[in-house]
Structure 1
Amino acid sequence: MNGKRPNIIKDKSFTFAIRVVKCYKFLVENKEFVMSKQLLRSGTAVGALVREAEHAESTADFIHKMAIAQKRS
């Protein structure tokens, strides 16, 4: 092991984003464009916000950014 602890939230948000992209592709193939675009934006935003929180400048900043990510899920 490389000494790093696994980041469960990061892993789950990545897995969720993969599932969202697959769902998006299915919806587009079935001619659903409006809902599919919104799903893609909001579903992948969770992971982006979690990654942004990883690089927070303080504990308070980290908590704030994770709270925003939680609102998106």
Structure 2
Amino acid sequence: MMNAEFDISQRSFDFAVRIVKLCQFLEKQSGVPRTLANQLLRSGTSIGANIEEAQAGQSKADFIAKMSISRKEARETLYWIKLLEATELVTSDKIEGLKTEADEVVRILTSIVKTAQQRK
């Protein structure tokens, strides 16, 4: 396993833990639509799950496909975080770190996918 893959695997797991905690917080808040929290929970936790699947991929193409799905989920998660911030359902200071981390995860996954495609 490449070092970058291990790092993104651990980072995505840590990120998912933070997403779960944010969603638990959102569930306690009145006025936050449950659908929004559920979407965030689904996309934010599937990033790492797809990375784990990619690392057990049966082929290079399978690896690229799963990492690409993970990147899409990371982009979607970033969208939900930005939406929460823009609608002021969560204060910026509460989710700024999550937003930054989501953006970094997207960038890392983009790099991993591009590198894997070039080596194909």
- Scaled by the length of structure 1, the TM-score of the pair is 0.86
Unpaired runs of 5+ residues, structure 1, are: none
Alignment match, 1:39: 40
1:59: how far off?
1.2
Alignment match, 2:77: none
Q: Does 1:26 align with 2:25?
A: yes
1:28: how far off?
0.2
Alignment match, 1:10: 9
1:5: how far off?
6.4
Alignment match, 2:51: 50
1:12: how far off?
0.6
Give the superposed CA RMSD.
1.5
Equivalent residue letter for 2:11: K
Identity %: 43
C-alpha distance in 2, partners of 1:41/1:5? 27
Moved segments of 4+, more than 4 Å: none
SS in 1 for 2:58: coil
C-alpha distance in 2, partners of 1:5/1:59? 14
Per-residue CA shift, 1:20-46, capped at 9, x if unaligned? 001101100103222111111111011
Equivalent residue letter for 1:36: A
C-alpha distance in 2, partners of 1:72/1:34? 16
Alignment match, 2:60: 59
Unpaired runs of 5+ residues, structure 2, are: 75-120
- Scaled by the length of structure 2, the TM-score of the pair is 0.54
Relative to 1, partners in 2 of residues 1:54 and 1:5: Cα closer, same or farther, differing over 3 Å? closer
